[in-house]
A = this chain, B = another copy of it.
Amino acid sequence: MQLTPTDRTRVRRLPDRGSFDRATVHAILDEALNCHVGFAIDGRPWVTPTIHARRGDDLYLHGAVANHMLRSIDDGIEACVTATIVDGLVLARSAFHHSTNYRSVMVFGHATKVDDGEEKRAALHALVEHVVRGRSDDARPPTESEMRKTLVLRLPIIEASAKIRTGGPVDDDEDLALPIWAGVLPSAVTFGTPVPEPGVDAPVPAYVQHYSRA
């Protein structure tokens, strides 16, 4: 299924890198651990890193970001959420054609506060699961008091697009014979050896031991 391009999401430059495929947009949002949330206060931009979670066609944000965005605006706020996964460094023979391989998603829309208790609980569950799948079965769930202390925002994933670059460098023909190494250095986010808190007796859970975002 395709999302409908708008003036904001149409990829103007290098349009072959753009995608409106709903499954592609969702997959990038799900794999990216974090995102950067942009909003304007008195016309001035703010960009805050945070954790997100997707449930169906909705993106959820929570906590301090929500608090900050909603400080002056009760009724929701225009937001742009961008999630980026870097897959590699692209080294061309020319400085000019250096690039990166990446997958990114931009979601534009009106973020509004989630008041419904059931939806809010489901969103917080999704946020924990987004970070560590399986963790919700173990972690002590939020109390009513913790629920009240947490702000959750919903942003519909309607005006959204993905941008993807893959493959090697694209050098100009006249540079191809230069005696310069060219290629891709793949990059990925990797996870190390779990560090238990002092006093923790429980064994390292499988979802931590074999953690993966893919």
Contact = CB atoms under 8 A, between A and B. Distances in A.
Interface of A: 8, 12-13, 33-34, 36-40, 43-49, 51, 64, 67-68, 78-82, 84, 86, 89, 91-96, 98, 100, 102, 104, 106, 108, 124-125, 128, 131-132, 135-136, 138-143, 146, 149-150, 168-169, 175-176, 178-197, 199-205, 208, 211
A91 B136 CA distance: 11
Contacts of A80: 38, 44-47
A184 B168 CA distance: 36
A45 to B, nearest CB: 4
A171 to B, nearest CB: 8
A165 to B, nearest CB: 11
Contacts of A141: 95
20 contacts: A12-B68, A33-B187, A36-B84, A37-B47, A38-B46, A45-B46, A91-B135, A91-B139, A95-B125, A96-B149, A98-B139, A140-B180, A176-B199, A180-B202, A181-B200, A183-B208, A185-B208, A186-B193, A188-B189, A189-B190
A196 B208 contact: no
Contact of A91 (B37, B146, B208): B208
A166 to B, nearest CB: 12
